[in-house]
Amino acid sequence: MSGQYLIGLPVSQIPTPALVVDIEALMGNIETMSNYLATVKMKIRPHAKTHKTPAIAHLQMQAGAIGQCCQTIGEAEVMAYAGINDILVSSECVGESTIRRAVNLARHAKIMVIVDDLSNVRELSAAAKQYGSNLDILVDLDVGQHRCGVRSLEQLVELAKTVDLSPGLTLRGVFGYAGHIQFIADCEERTKQNQEANALLVQGAKAVAGAGLNVEIVSGSGTGSYDMAAEFPDLTEIQAGSYIFMDGTYQKLGLPFAQSLTVLAQVVSRPSADMAIFDVGMKGISTERFFPAVQGHEGALTVQHLSEEHATAQLHSGDLRLGDKLHFVPSHCCTTVNLYDYMYVTRKGIIEAVWPIAARRA
């Protein structure tokens, strides 16, 4: 059941556990990012892997986003069929089925994919030619995360040359995601590593352009370094995603975004005076980095353990009764969103909408 019947009722009526979004905080975060980027003339292509929700993608587009990043071809399909027309698939598309889906999706929307392997370029080109389609391509450079991406500028240029000569493919520029620096707590160190990553990315773009090849797009960064990257010369777009929701990890960085996403849970047991058990566990909130905090009760109780369906919290002050509902802040918003089929959208404590997380399983 989607919960549409609850629209217009107080948040306290939401069955728990539930994913809840404060629409005023969400829109404030989108506006804060949009207003800042306007001052530095930087474009944003937000990451749909954070929200997986077409309704939010459209809000971002209305606020000036140039498109969406999608981490899977399934996410891209959901966004394209929901009317998002400019999509970067920010993970390599490998394998017959994925490639076929990518080139066919390019018939319905403007699709870019990233590449870091010559054989993959040949496979994408062959499929695009077979299906009479065209894919825009960004060549992927490892800028320090040591995950995907070519490891040298020479490889990058060779890859770009191959793309440029491949039927059905159009070289648009370079890509480099600096995921390794997004959560560095020390601002000075985060700035230093961000400068190094962006400098390498721009150096790669200049090497490709210097070979006489097309470089319109230089795409990188994320929420934790959005401002540092936005003011770095020669980058053209940033890929921030989590700024719309925030989470316990990003809260530590002092970013100018509000916590809009929480998981609502209720007290289901009070086995002792200093302990409360809530009805949310690992199946309802991410355990990726650390235990969640409880919004507005940070000093009053501490989550000490998560099992599959329960959170065990120690009470330091105050009192809780069975049925009391509190908002939990996850350590990671993206992996928490992926646990739910829909989110409750609230305004001033009232349920305003219920949005399907349409790309959850994509």
The residue type at 86: D
Helix (H) or strand (E) segment spanning residue 200? helix 187-210
State residue 155's pLDDT score: 98
- 33-37 mean pLDDT: 97
Give the pLDDT band (50/70/90) at residue 1.
low
Q: What is the mean pLDDT of residues 253-272?
A: 97
pLDDT for residue 361? 86
**Do residue 261 and residue 189 come from a single domain?**
no
Choose the final residue of a domain: 244, 265, 297: 244
Whole-structure pTM value: 0.95
For the segment 320-341, the average pLDDT, to the nearest whole number, is 97
293 and 269 in a common domain = yes
pLDDT at 109: 95
pLDDT digits (tens, 9 = 90+) for 110-166: 999 999 999 999 999 999 999 999 999 999 999 999 999 999 999 999 999 999 999
Mean per-residue pLDDT, 206-230: 96
| pLDDT digit string, tens, across residues 267-291 | 999 999 999 999 999 999 998 889 9
Q: With a cut of 90, say whether residue 3 has pLDDT above it.
A: no
Tens of pLDDT, residue by residue over 304-324, are 999 999 999 999 988 899 999
Q: Are 162 and 73 within one domain?
A: yes
Please check the confidence at residue 215 and state whether its pLDDT lies above 70: yes
Q: For strands 68-70 and 86-89, give the pairing.
A: parallel
> Is residue 313 domain-resident?
yes
The 135-140 sheet, strands edge to edge? 43-44, 237-238, 217-220, 169-176, 135-140, 110-115, 86-89, 68-70
Q: Residue 126, class by beta-carbon neighbours within 10 Å (0-12 exposed, 13-18 middle, 19+ buried)?
A: middle
319 in any annotated domain: yes
Q: Is the pLDDT of residue 2 over 80?
A: no
Q: What is the count of structural domains for the chain?
A: 2
**Arithmetic mean of pLDDT, 71-89:** 97
Looking at residues 170-184, what average pLDDT do you find? 95
- Domain encompassing residue 294: 4-19+256-356
Q: Residue 250 domain-assigned? A: no
Chain segment 82-112, per-residue pLDDT in tens: 999 999 999 999 999 999 999 999 999 999 9
288 in a structural domain: yes
